Amino acid sequence: MPLLACEGGRPVRPDFLVFGHPLIGQEEIDEVVDTLRSGWIGFGPKCLRFEEGFAAYTRSEHALSVNSATAALHLALIGAGIGEGDEVVTTPLTFTATANVITHVGATPVFVDVDERTQNIDVSRVESAITPRTRAILPVHMCGWPCEMDALGDVAERHELTVIEDAAHASEAWYEGRKIGAISPYTAFSFYATKNLTTGEGGMLTLRDDVAHARLKALRLHGLDKDAWKRYSPGGFMPYETIEPGYKYNMTDLQASLGLHQLARLEANLRIRQSIWRSYDAAFAELEGVATPLPVDREGTRHARHLYTLRLVPGRLSCDRDQFIRALGAENVGSGIHFVPVHLHRWYRSHLGTGRGDFPVAEAIGDTTVSLPLSASMNADDVRDVIEAVRKVATRYLLAGTVVPGWSDDMMEAA
């Protein structure tokens, strides 16, 4: 059995494969150059074109471009009127931003454990977390797998709650024939560097209501009235004033230059990731010590294939997850952890009194999950290298007595 690179062996590949390496085409580069040469690089016409395109793609009434999904979620909570003393039901298995924004508006995140198979909020437990102070449900489409929106919508309707979707992973997802982005009053998307559609940093809020749209449109740019950004355009100076103290949450035309072409390529990139996904599934199905994810696309429901997450099978490997990730890194394969559950983060432990044992399913996933590179920028060699590195590391750490396909007892003994 070959020595692991972290033990002094030769790495699987000579150069490091970055986790979340985006696919940037010549179109994006040309568009950015065009923007740089145009004399206007701030919020402007390209952001508006990107918004129109994204609203059409998601079948939503309105789309507001912003500088992150975090900003989009924050604006959504404000739009929904969530504030001091309110509670918002959400998942602990998410990026900290999902919970942070709830605290930004003075509300309290109330976590509900996740379903082990989908890693999404366990809808059957949501109702028991609702109190007279609950105002909203904030589900996350984890890894790109759409949550059970019909069941969540029913609970929300019964208790008069607003649903705000965190679709940071789910630009391409569909649920029961409806596009994610067109189902709930508010849906937030992320265009962070590692996301399926990237603008470096960026996000989009899709929303339905015209009045909320007009208000949040102003709030994302300082709370100024009219199209205040036009004040620098030819003959365009117009007096403007603050109608509500807003935020500096706008996107820029530089970012939208990337977004316009990333959006055009979104479906083609998804097909590439679906194919990488199938290669991983086939390679790891029989690999001892790891378990593959289990999404099933059904008629009308589509997983956005943002994160391919292996689970390390407890008791089968002699390493823990962090060692596994370090060993992959030494083989020059980058990977990620999605996520250390939010209720275990220091601030939430000390302010909400949460801790280990509160949400056992999210914790078990958080302890054993490894996200592998899954980007449309990967070529066949990259995919082969990831597979080889995972096999090498899992096989090396497999506890004696367990069966490794392709390895005889003698080979196991030697290992």
Ligand X SMILES: Cc1ncc(COP(=O)(O)O)c(C=O)c1O
List residues with catalytic annotation.
Answer: 195
Cβ at position 94, least distance to ligand X in Å: 5
Q: Is 251 in the site for ligand X (CB under 6 A)?
A: no
Q: Is 69 in the site for ligand X (CB under 6 A)?
A: yes
Pairing of strands 290-291, 308-312: antiparallel
Q: Is 262 in the site for ligand X (CB under 6 A)?
A: no
Cβ at position 302, least distance to ligand X in Å: 18
How many chain residues bind ligand X (CB under 6 A)? 14
Between CA 197 and CA 174 the distance in angstroms is 16
DSSP bridge pairs for 398: 317
DSSP string, 178-221: EETTSSSSEEEEE--TTSSS--SS-EEEEE--HHHHHHHHHHTB
Nearer to ligand X, 289 or 293 (CB): 293
Q: How many CA atoms lie within 13 A of 384 on its CB side?
A: 4
**The only residue of 57, 174, 192, 280 in contact with ligand X, by rule CB under 6 A:** 192
Q: Is 95 in the site for ligand X (CB under 6 A)?
A: yes
Sketch the per residue contact string, 203 through 232, with ligand X: x for CB under 6 A, - otherwise.
Answer: x-----------------------------
DSSP string, 242-306: BSS---B-B--HHHHHHHHHHHHTHHHHHHHHHHHHHHHHHHHTT-TTEE------BTTBB----
Q: Is 362 in the site for ligand X (CB under 6 A)?
A: no
Backbone angles phi, psi at 145, to 5 degrees: -85, 115
8 Å CB contact between 289 and 316: yes
**The only residue of 65, 90, 94, 371 in contact with ligand X, by rule CB under 6 A:** 94
Backbone angles phi, psi at 179, to 5 degrees: -75, 135
Nearer to ligand X, 11 or 79 (CB): 79
- Among residues 304, 311, 303, the alpha carbon closest in space to that of 337 is found at 311
Nearer to ligand X, 169 or 215 (CB): 169
Q: Is 98 in the site for ligand X (CB under 6 A)?
A: yes
Q: Which two tokens stand for residue 313?
A: 């099978």
8 Å CB contact between 17 and 373: yes
Nearer to ligand X, 28 or 166 (CB): 166
Q: Is 404 in the site for ligand X (CB under 6 A)?
A: no
C-alpha pair distances (Å), 120 with each of 67, 147, 295, 357: 25, 6, 12, 18
Sketch the per residue contact string, 152 through 171, with ligand X: x for CB under 6 A, - otherwise.
Answer: --------------x-xx--
Q: Is 295 in the site for ligand X (CB under 6 A)?
A: no
Cβ at position 205, least distance to ligand X in Å: 11
Of residues 126-145, those binding ligand X (CB under 6 A): 140
Nearer to ligand X, 140 or 361 (CB): 140
Quick check: helix, strand or coil at residue 345? coil
8 Å CB contact between 2 and 10: yes
**The only residue of 35, 60, 65, 70 in contact with ligand X, by rule CB under 6 A:** 70
**The only residue of 17, 88, 97, 207 in contact with ligand X, by rule CB under 6 A:** 97
Q: Is 252 in the site for ligand X (CB under 6 A)?
A: no
**The only residue of 65, 90, 190, 196 in contact with ligand X, by rule CB under 6 A:** 190
Nearer to ligand X, 203 or 341 (CB): 203
Return the range that interacts with ligand X (CB under 6 A); candidates 62-70, 175-183, 224-232, 407-415. Answer: 62-70
Cβ at position 95, least distance to ligand X in Å: 4
Backbone angles phi, psi at 18, to 5 degrees: -70, 130
Between CA 148 and CA 72 the distance in angstroms is 22
Nearer to ligand X, 95 or 174 (CB): 95
Q: Which residues bind ligand X (CB under 6 A)?
A: 68-70, 94-95, 97-98, 140, 166, 168-169, 190, 192, 203
